[in-house]
Amino acid sequence: MNNRNPMKSAIEEALKAGERGEVPVGAVLVDSATGEIFAAAGNRTEELGDPTAHAEVLAIRDAAMAGGNPRLENCDLYVTLEPCAMCAAAISFARIRKLVFGAYDPKGGGVEHGPRFYDQPTCHHRPEVIGGVEEQACGELLKEFFRARR
């Protein structure tokens, strides 16, 4: 894949997820040195009937399988929404170097909200975390999606 703006690519994945009727969350994994995108995914929980098919988990699975290594230490993850606790754990287990997310999620987030997974003493790997990147654009995607369903 190419060297595009990773958060813009994650937003594109989120838009595709929304078009499929999924909650519009997108994620991309990039090489931390080159910015090359290794994996990109959007939510597929409804399509796959799988509650773990969050964008982050799907991107991590794809990158790990493609590279033949469950540890993605030289990768950065860009995701449009603050990861939930499950995704925060997957990010930690994959040893991802940096997590960059768009919109904060006070209700379901597991990084800056809720369980604050990386602040727990049982967390073995804590990525660098940067929140609020393209926050308005990412948040608007979600607001529009849920507004249309009410």
Residues labelled as active-site residues? 56
Q: Mention every residue, 6+ apart, whose C-beta is less than 8 A from residue 91.
A: 56, 60, 77, 83, 99, 127
Q: Does residue 82 contact residue 111 with C-beta atoms inside 8 Å? A: yes
Task: Provide the pairing of β-strand 26-31 with 75-81.
Answer: antiparallel
In the block, residue with structure tokens 């594109």 = 12
